[in-house]
Amino acid sequence: MNSSLQTVSIAEKTFLVTGAGTGIGYSIAESLITLGAKVILHCNWHIEAAQGLALKARSDCKVIQKDLSKPQAGQELVAEVLNLGFSIDGIVNNAGIMTELSWDDNPSVWEETWLKTLQVNLIAVSAIARRAIEHFQSKGGGIIVNISSRAAHRGDTPEYMHYGASKAALSNLTKSIARDFAADGILAYSVCPGFVDTEMTADFIQNYALSEIVSGIPLKRIAQPEEIASMVVFLLSGTVPSATGTSIEINGASYVR
């Protein structure tokens, strides 16, 4: 077996988790910290929550604030982590936005919302991945987990089609990374949740009624952030290298491919 794919304990690794101040990102960071990993928690908002989590860690953890809607922010984030002296073993691209956009909004609002969504959900991620891949190549491997969405494969409503499109592109990016860089010991996975009980989805759930949403989920409940975190930690463990490029659905069987 390629030595770069040999597994080590999570506690021996260092991870960057974006959007770690709340929701899925917070749960992922918390799970990794509990297992003794070093975690760099990125956030734009919810800085105090991220700092509080970092202070609880037994290992060396840092919090970095950066607005990924700004040009160059993705590559700047990775550069800042490396400048702090960290050697990154894995990256979780979790940060994302899901802004409602009316079909009747004027063209300028339409384009502005599409552009911002693509910048945060895709372009910044591609920049993070590009810089991370260069770093991973220098050290013999690494793991990228991109948090995509059920909408990437199923599509979405008119109000959120820009979100679905950005996540579809993200899942495709993940496949390209997996195909192109596996020989370098670099693994890439997409995790595609459906509805998850987070602050990000709270308004949507309130507007559309939880009972209506659950009616379309055979499991009859929405997922909890800890469920997504468990899968991400498993992928970051490096125990399933042959699954690189896989998209993993976590949606209570509401969309099965």
| Predicted local confidence at residue 173, as pLDDT | 98
Question: Where does residue 104 fall: left (phi above 0), alpha (psi -120 to 50 degrees), or beta otherwise?
Answer: alpha
Tell me which residues are annotated as active site.
163
| Distance separating alpha carbons of residues 164 and 151, to the nearest angstrom | 5
| Distance separating alpha carbons of residues 165 and 158, to the nearest angstrom | 11
| Domain assignment present for 257 | no
Query: Shortest CA distance to 193 belongs to which of 201, 185, 182, 181?
Result: 201
For the chain, percent of residues with pLDDT exceeding 70:
96
pLDDT grade for 211, boundaries at 50, 70 and 90: confident
| Distance separating alpha carbons of residues 9 and 224, to the nearest angstrom | 25
CATH code, domain carrying 230 = 3.40.50.720
| Predicted local confidence at residue 8, as pLDDT | 57
Question: Using an 8 Å Cβ cutoff, are 236 and 15 in contact?
Answer: yes
List, as one string, the DSSP characters of 9-59: -GGG-EEEESSTTSHHHHHHHHHHHHTT-EEEEEESS-HHHHHHHHHH-SS
pLDDT at 119 over 50: yes
pLDDT at 107 over 60: yes
pLDDT at 3 over 80: no
| Predicted local confidence at residue 4, as pLDDT | 42
| Predicted local confidence at residue 210, as pLDDT | 81
pTM: 0.94
Q: Provide the number of structural domains found in the chain.
A: 1
User: Could you list the residue range(s) of the whole structural domain that residue 189 is in?
Assistant: 3-250
| Domain assignment present for 109 | yes
pLDDT at 196 over 80: yes
| Domain assignment present for 256 | no
| Domain assignment present for 11 | yes
